[in-house]
């Protein structure tokens, strides 16, 4: 990954924040930055990891605000506002994974990603997933995890995609509520901003729809795919027609 740095203005645009928001985060020491003389700069690799974790921890109102802003940037990449039909296919879903440990789940998810034909380097992906989970678990309350590599190298994927796994047995994966995890989404994006928008979209789906219980109840991969597409559409319809 190139060791690129952002200025305050650049990082604000990259994160869909205002410049005062960034200045406040720097003042509070709540965002990784470096001082170079009188200048404040931000390493891209540090910002990507920080932003991913921040999105995973956003509450409903802040998440909705971020998702709205990131949707505007995503229009430069995706032909349609709905991104799930482009990133997920029924063949990208494993409804009965056999893994019983964190390590075996990661291996199974990488193997599933390899079957898509879009993964260029399975070994690097597995190592990056392990490194990311070593920083902080990507498992969330409500029994799901949004797996993603620590760094997003363009060479790792032929195109951006998501694979979804549902293990037969629940896994203790480090969720903040201490409960086991039984739904895994592996997000594989070439571009960091697509990655952040995809994280926000999936979090919105989990927060605003019944996607999680519906996925658990779905009988097979095709039904799970239909649930994902329909749940994203619910989020988009809600964004167009907000509750008064």
Query: Is 71 domain-assigned?
Result: no
Same-domain check for residues 98 and 177: yes
Same-domain check for residues 180 and 118: yes
Same-domain check for residues 25 and 85: no
Residues 151-168: what's their mean pLDDT?
A: 91
Query: Is 92 domain-assigned?
Result: yes
Of 174-178, 186-190, 237-241, least confident by mean pLDDT is 237-241
Give the whole-angstrom CA distance, residue 203 versus residue 185: 11
Same-domain check for residues 142 and 224: yes
CATH number for the domain that contains residue 27? 1.10.1660
More confidently predicted of 237 and 218: 218
CATH number for the domain that contains residue 105? 3.40.930.10
157: three-class secondary structure by DSSP? strand
What's the domain range around 35?
Answer: 5-57
Query: Is 68 domain-assigned?
Result: no
Same-domain check for residues 44 and 119: no
Per-residue model confidence as pLDDT tens digits over 72-123? 766 666 768 899 999 999 999 999 999 999 999 999 999 999 999 999 999 9
Tell me: pLDDT of 242 over 80.
Answer: no
Q: What is the pLDDT of residue 167?
A: 98
Tell me: pLDDT of 1 over 50.
Answer: no
Give the whole-angstrom CA distance, residue 243 versus residue 64: 13
Residues 167-171: what's their mean pLDDT?
A: 97
Give the whole-angstrom CA distance, residue 15 versus residue 146: 19
Tell me: pLDDT of 147 over 80.
Answer: yes
Same-domain check for residues 33 and 145: no
Same-domain check for residues 52 and 144: no
Query: Is 112 domain-assigned?
Result: yes
Q: What is the pLDDT of residue 75?
A: 66
Query: Is 13 domain-assigned?
Result: yes
Tell me: pLDDT of 2 over 60.
Answer: no
Same-domain check for residues 164 and 105: yes
Same-domain check for residues 146 and 193: yes
Give the whole-angstrom CA distance, residue 36 versus residue 41: 7
Same-domain check for residues 44 and 86: no
Q: What is the pLDDT of residue 101?
A: 96
What pTM value is reported for the model? 0.86
Query: Is 236 domain-assigned?
Result: yes
**Averaged pLDDT of the chain:** 90
Query: Is 50 domain-assigned?
Result: yes
Q: Cα-flanking dihedrals φ and ψ of residue 202, to 5°? A: -65, -40
Residues 211-227: what's their mean pLDDT?
A: 98
Give the whole-angstrom CA distance, residue 17 versus residue 62: 11
Tell me: pLDDT of 3 over 60.
Answer: no
Cα–chain-centroid distance for residue 59? 16
Per-residue model confidence as pLDDT tens digits over 46-72? 887 788 888 888 888 888 888 888 887
Give the whole-angstrom CA distance, residue 197 versus residue 66: 9
Q: Which stretches of 121-196 are assigned E, i.e. beta strand?
A: 139-140, 144-147, 161-167, 183-188
Same-domain check for residues 89 and 210: yes
Same-domain check for residues 147 and 42: no
Residues 7-24: what's their mean pLDDT?
A: 89
Tokens 């997000």 belong to residue? 187
Helix runs in the chain, H state only: 8-15, 19-27, 44-57, 60-74, 84-87, 102-115, 122-135, 192-208, 211-217, 221-240
| DSSP 8-state code for residue 156 | G
Q: What is the total count of domains within the chain?
A: 2
Query: Is 51 domain-assigned?
Result: yes
């Amino acid at each position: 990954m190139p060791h690129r740095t952002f200025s305050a203005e650049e990082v604000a645009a990259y994160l869909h924040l205002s410049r005062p928001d960034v200045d406040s985060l720097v003042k509070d020491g709540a965002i990784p930055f470096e001082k170079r003389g009188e200048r404040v700069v931000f390493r891209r690799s540090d910002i990507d990891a920080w932003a991913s974790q921040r999105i995973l921890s956003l509450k409903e109102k802040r998440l909705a605000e971020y998702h709205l802003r990131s949707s505007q940037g995503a229009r430069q990449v995706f032909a349609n506002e709905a991104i799930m039909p482009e990133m997920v296919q029924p063949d990208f879903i494993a409804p009965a994974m056999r893994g019983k440990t964190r390590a075996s789940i990661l291996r199974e998810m990488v193997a599933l990603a390899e079957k898509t034909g879009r993964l260029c380097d399975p070994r690097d992906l597995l190592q990056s997933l392990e490194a990311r989970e070593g920083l902080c678990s990507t498992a969330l309350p409500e029994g799901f995890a949004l797996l993603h590599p620590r760094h997003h190298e363009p060479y790792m994927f032929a195109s951006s995609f998501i694979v979804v796994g549902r293990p037969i047995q629940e896994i203790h994966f480090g969720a903040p509520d201490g409960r086991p995890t039984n739904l895994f989404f592996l997000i594989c994006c070439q571009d960091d901003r697509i990655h952040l928008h995809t994280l926000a979209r999936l979090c919105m789906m989990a927060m605003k729809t019944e996607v999680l219980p519906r996925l658990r109840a779905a009988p097979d991969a095709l039904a799970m795919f239909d649930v994902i597409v329909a749940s994203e559409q619910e989020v988009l319809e809600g964004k167009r027609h907000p509750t008064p």
